[in-house]
Amino acid sequence: MRVLIDCRMSTWSGIGRYCQGLVRALVDIPDLSVIQMVAVGAVAPSDAAESVEAHHHPFSFRGSLEFGRIVRAVAPDVTHALHFPTPRPVGHPLVVTIQDLTPLVVPGVMSSALRRAVYRRSVGHAVRVADHILTPSAYTARDVVRFFPHSEARITSVLLAADDFTSRAAGVVPEWLAGRRFILSMGNTKPHKDLPTLLKAFAALGDDTLALVLAGSDPGDYVASVLGDDPAAGRVHFTGAVSDDTLRALYVGAELLAYPSLYEGFGLPPLEAMGFGTPVIVADAASVPEVVADAALKIAPGDVEGLAEAMREILGDPVLASDLMRRGIARAGELTWARTAEQTAAVYREVVG
């Protein structure tokens, strides 16, 4: 079976992890022949698969037309769009992955009413023309059905994995962190990531030996806008852009990962951290409980004191930390890209059959 996969976003965060992990696992399935459609100049996810280049941005109308031309030229048995951009005109059979519906679900993520309308129309088009729809969690599948009820009979949820990332060697933590104890989180300041809850919980710990490291770019006065002149603000550090090797080192070196996000289509960071044996705390919200199962501490969404107390428990109880480490590694071991790829290939076979 020849499968054309849209890998134009393989270097992006989030969806890039999905693209790389999925493609590298799909090429090991004997009855599949994978063709990667990659952005011009980009490195393809797998050396073991054929590649074709695309020149236009995947979100542009020209990108959709180019996608359609490539589908016609390649003539695959099935095409897989890893995000809502689809080929125009559509060459069936077509599988589409809807990663999440954040702009429709979370107020403030996309403030422009016009942009939200365009986004909803684009996702609606993808849902309408797909022969089958994949989502990275059952929670996201329910969201898709809520907004697009006609899609229910064509949806399959397939959990993602982190083993392609966690199996690689870690680098070293930045020099300014060497020898320091730190809590790790992601430095995304979008509303649904709920960094204010994390910052306030970190301040409530009152432990001046601990730093809070946020993997991402410093937006300026964000920390001060939340914590004011609290001394804890001086122990919060954004890393700036980091390589995968450095991110691995941060996971390995952290006392714990705190992930209070209120909405995720899947949420890879908790699973990545668990794969390295790092204790994890998450908000009991959206898809993340599906991902972590019983291998992480869960707090009520937006609960500052609950998060602070969960961090105190892990930091102060080596037995609990060790138990979370063991359970986290086991959970990460259950969710592999080989598993994701085989479940995805089963959908390809169903669509082609």
Q: Give the pLDDT score at 91.
A: 83
2-160+336-352 and 165-334 agree in CATH topology: yes
165-334 — its CATH code? 3.40.50.2000
Whether residue 107 has a cis bond before it, omega within 30° of 0: no
User: pLDDT, tens digit, for every residue of 189-244?
Assistant: 999 999 999 999 999 999 999 999 999 999 989 999 999 999 999 999 999 999 99
Burial 325-338 (b: 16+ CB within 10 A, else e): bebbbebbeebbbb
Cα(48)–Cα(54) distance, rounded to whole angstroms?
19
Q: Give the pLDDT score at 92.
A: 86
From first to last of its 353 residues, what are the pLDDT tens digits of the chain?
999 999 999 999 889 999 999 999 999 999 999 999 999 999 999 999 999 999 999 999 999 999 999 999 999 999 999 999 999 999 889 999 999 999 999 988 888 999 999 999 999 999 999 999 999 999 999 999 999 999 999 999 999 999 999 999 999 999 999 999 999 999 999 999 999 999 999 999 999 999 999 999 999 899 999 999 999 999 999 999 999 999 999 999 999 999 999 999 999 999 999 999 999 999 999 999 999 999 999 999 999 999 999 999 999 999 999 999 999 999 999 999 999 999 999 999 999 98
Q: Give the pLDDT score at 175.
A: 93
Q: Give the pLDDT score at 108.
A: 85
Q: Where are the domains of the chain?
A: 2-160+336-352, 165-334
- 352 in Cβ contact with 293 (< 8 Å): no
In this prediction the pTM is 0.94
Q: Exposed/middle/buried for 292, CB within 10 Å: 0-12, 13-18, 19+? A: buried
2-160+336-352 belongs to which CATH class?
Answer: alpha beta
Q: Give the pLDDT score at 111.
A: 85
